[in-house]
Structure 1
Amino acid sequence: MPGFDPEISKLAQRVLVNPRKIDYHTGVFATKITPAKDGRPVVIELTDAKTKEVKDTLEVDAALIATGRAPFTEGLGLENINVLTQRGFIPVDERMRVIDADGNLVPHLYCIGDANGKMMLAHAASAQGISVVEQVSGRDHVLNHLSVPAACFTHPEISMVGLTEPQARERAEKEGFEISIAKTSFKANTKALAENEGEGLAKLIYRPDNGEILGVHIIGMHAADLIHEASNAIALGTSIQDIMFAVHAHPTLSEVLDELFKSAKLKGSHDRRSLSEPVAV
């Protein structure tokens, strides 16, 4: 899970891998696989990712190859319009308009989905397509890719939207602002406990100075469904000051995010009345 928040990845390993009798190898490539034949097992040669030297050899009953997706852009005639792919991907701008080798936009040509390499997810491709249709219909629309959620359908599920903590810290250092972290546990959620699914964590990365939501990461029951509240908040530019007063039904898993946003600590004029402050009724 290299694209997910490191803290969530570590928790996923503890919950999904460590309790099970699974041998796993990291930091290596399966550089050679010899298929099973005449009663002999499948042989997998593992090469160290850094030294490029053969590190180990595995003998197994079967091998599942899941190396991800690659762009299928050869043979499209891109060279005829002065478009050069980058590692096989077609360069586009934020509106999915194709960019040629000289940095100019190719008139009336758009590229959506895996072929542009921006975010290789089916729902991202659909959103990019909608953005293009809006533009050719005369209505400008730019898709905020940081608002597009991603999910792993493990048990429990894992989901994320926006920046990871390292990415947020890098951006904060570059742009000169602070970030804060808030967390809530599924162990405090009544619905999760009723379902005997108390293992889980939600993590919020945000700016305490203006309440901007930078990223939300969830591991737990129905995490892939829960992430959309955060996704929509980022897409609409909703601040923590506003979303923390949203009302969630009880008892529901949505209260995990309700507690997450309410636990954020804001600074200065952006810090509205403390939620613990008594209110006259």
Structure 2
Amino acid sequence: MSQGFDYDLLIIGAGVGGHGAALHAVSCGLKVAIVESAEMGGTCINRGCIPSKALLAAAGRVRELRDAHHLKTLGIQLGEMTFDRQAISDHAGSIVSKIRGDMTNSLKRLGVDVIQGWGRLAASQKVTVTTDKGEKTVTADEVILAPGSVPFVPPGIEIDGKTVFTSDGGIKLESLPSWIAIIGSGYIGLEFADIYTALGSEITMIEALDQLMPTFDPDIAKQAQRVLIAPRDIETRVGLLAKKVTPGSPVVIELADAKTKEIVEVLEVDACLVATGRIPATKDMGLEAAGVEIDRRGFIPVDDRMAVLSGGEPVPHLWAIGDATGKMMLAHAASAQGITAVENICGRPRTVDYRCIPAAAFTHPEISFVGMTEPAAKEMGQAEGFEVGAVRTYFKGNSKAIAEGETDGLAKVIYRQDTGELLGVHILGIHAADLIQEAANAIAHRQSVRDLAFLVHTHPTLSEVLDEAYKRALTPH
């Protein structure tokens, strides 16, 4: 134990990042406490990854069982298929409760002190915690900030939690409105569009930028529109800004041209999901007590070791991880950052390699990616003087996908033409979220397609879409 301190390490925020940091710190022999003002598990466990995946799993089964043509090709015929909305919602809730309980028990079992309350910096090694019994001060040799993020609601949009809501409300699945507007075409918007259309709702998807899915690789976005949007009850509005959203029955949405800001259309829908991204939950953390200024978007500045910066210099004994750093707003990225921070605290220098952290949208079929998009890779190639290659392979030629009757999708591999180094991989197709890990590991080790092309993949498996892509990268084309 560090002399004169209550703990070796105090973590503010018990989301996936804070939890992972605590577990790793204990394994390194540190005495740890974790402060949490709400539920254990943060956004991911309570309002994000976990409940949304439970809803997507149920919605995916409904979609599959209603696809009579697909089932018939497999020799299966079913009678009428029905579902219970409340039971689906309860299923998601029970999974959240179980995982949250498991997280809490794992911390207690390892001797981590869990302090319920609002943690605020009083200095770089001192934290004031406001609990239901009053205020208490806790000291620690090192402090990690892991406050997470909250949904971003643009100006002009009024949330009532019933007819206009964010993803926090959406995962409760309190109703299935006939017509839902979804503002935003990122991961959250796509996943909820998948859930709602499977369960019978019609969707209008609104995107302020001039193309749908603007953060995805262009080839993937194009294919996703063909597979995930065009065949479903989804109409799209691009280049339009939801300037004003008024809750009620109906919900009134005033759409403006994103460039001129002139109102061009008024929609009246049954409900509206606001999926316009997330912002850091960094207010009222006492950062000024440690001389730290958040940036204009509210993110905590950190270096590659996850040390908090003030005026460009690391603040001694203060670290930050997760969504609040603005690096990659993903639960597994937060966990990696937490482990990195603890390693540096223990005197073992480590940084996070963001290029090899994969991401996925759990639509049906799934989308996943790791590394760079083709435009980003070409931009880097132009700056550094190398040519970029890109190859595509399709699930319709994969034996396992054919056997499953799930042949929609493609894998795209982006690489340096001079060295063959793998720069990015993008997959749309069945089990894409699992397939991407192989590519993530390859990018982590900066492997070349010239080596990857000779690795042996199990036949028949979906992983052969990547095997074929690596081999195609070796062939002049």
Confirm or deny a common fold (TM above 0.5).
yes
The answer on 1:97 being equivalent to 2:292 is no
Matches within 5 A, 1:47-66: 47-66=256-275
Q: SS at 1:23's partner residue? A: strand
Q: Partner residue of 2:224?
A: 12
Aligned to 1:275: none
Q: Which amino acid aligns with 2:258?
A: A
Shift of 1:214: 0.6
Q: In 1, Cα distance between the equivalents of 2:222 and 2:289?
A: 47
Decide which of 237, 240, 246 is 1:34's aligned counterpart: 246
> Which 4+ runs in 1 deviate beyond 3 A?
none
Structure 2 Cα separation of the partners of residues 51 and 151 of structure 1: 34
> 1:138 Cα shift?
2.2
AA paired with 1:89? F
- Secondary structure at the aligned position of 1:63 is classed as strand
Q: CA deviation at 1:12?
A: 0.4
Instruction: For residue 230 of structure 1, give the secondary structure of its aligned residue in structure 2.
Output: helix
Q: Which residue of 1 aligns with 2:335?
A: 126
Return the alpha-carbon distance in structure 1 between the equivalents of residues 445 and 268 of structure 2.
51
The structure where strand makes up a greater share of residues is 2
The CA distance in 2 between the partners of 1:237 and 1:19, in whole Å, is 38
Which whole-Å CA distance do the structure 1 matches of 2:339 and 2:469 have between them?
31
Residue of structure 2 equivalent to 1:44: 253
For 1:196 and 1:137, how far apart are their aligned partners in 2? 51
Which deviations, in whole Å up to 9, do the C-alpha atoms of 1:86-122 show, x marking residues without a partner?
110011111111111x211111211100000000011
Matches within 5 A, 1:1-281: 1-36=213-248, 40-86=249-295, 87-100=297-310, 102-265=311-474
Contact 1:211 1:266 in 2 (8 A): no
CA RMSD after TM alignment: 1.4
Which has the larger helix fraction? 2
Cα 1:159–1:111 change in 2 (3 A) is same
Q: Which amino acid aligns with 1:94?
A: D
State how far apart, in whole Å, the 2-side matches of 1:126 and 1:47 are: 39
Letter in 1 for 2:379: E
CA displacement at 1:50 relative to structure 2: 1.3
Structure 2 unaligned runs (5+)? 1-212
The residue type paired with residue 227 of structure 2 is V
Whole-angstrom distance in 1 between the partners of 2:341 and 2:289: 23
SS at match of 1:263: helix
Instruction: State the SS of the aligned residue for 2:364.
Output: coil
- Alpha-carbon distance between aligned partners in 1 of 2:304 and 2:257, rounded to the nearest angstrom: 37
Q: Distance in 1 between matches of 2:236 and 2:469?
A: 33
| Secondary structure of 1:197's aligned partner | coil
* Residue deviations 1:34-84 (CA, integer Å, cap 9, x gap): 222xxx411111122211221211001111222221101111122222222
Provide the identity percentage.
61
Contact (CA 8 Å) 1:208, 1:265: kept in 2 or not?
A: no
Aligned-pair CA distance for 1:256: 0.7
Using CA pairs under 8 Å that are at least 6 residues apart, name the structure with larger relative contact order, 1 or 2: 2
CA contact (8 A) 2:452 2:470 kept: yes
Alignment partners' CA distance in 1, 2:315 and 2:261: 41
Instruction: Measure, in 1, the Cα distance between the counterparts of 2:264 and 2:304.
Output: 42
> 1:209, 1:266 within 8 Å by CA — same for their partners in 2?
no
Letter in 2 for 1:243: L
For 2:258 and 2:307, the matched residues in 1 are separated by 36
Contact 1:210 1:266 in 2 (8 A): no
Please say which of residues 63-72 and 87-96 is displaced more in the overlay.
63-72
Letter in structure 2 aligned against 1:4: F
Distance 2:382 2:353 in 1: 22
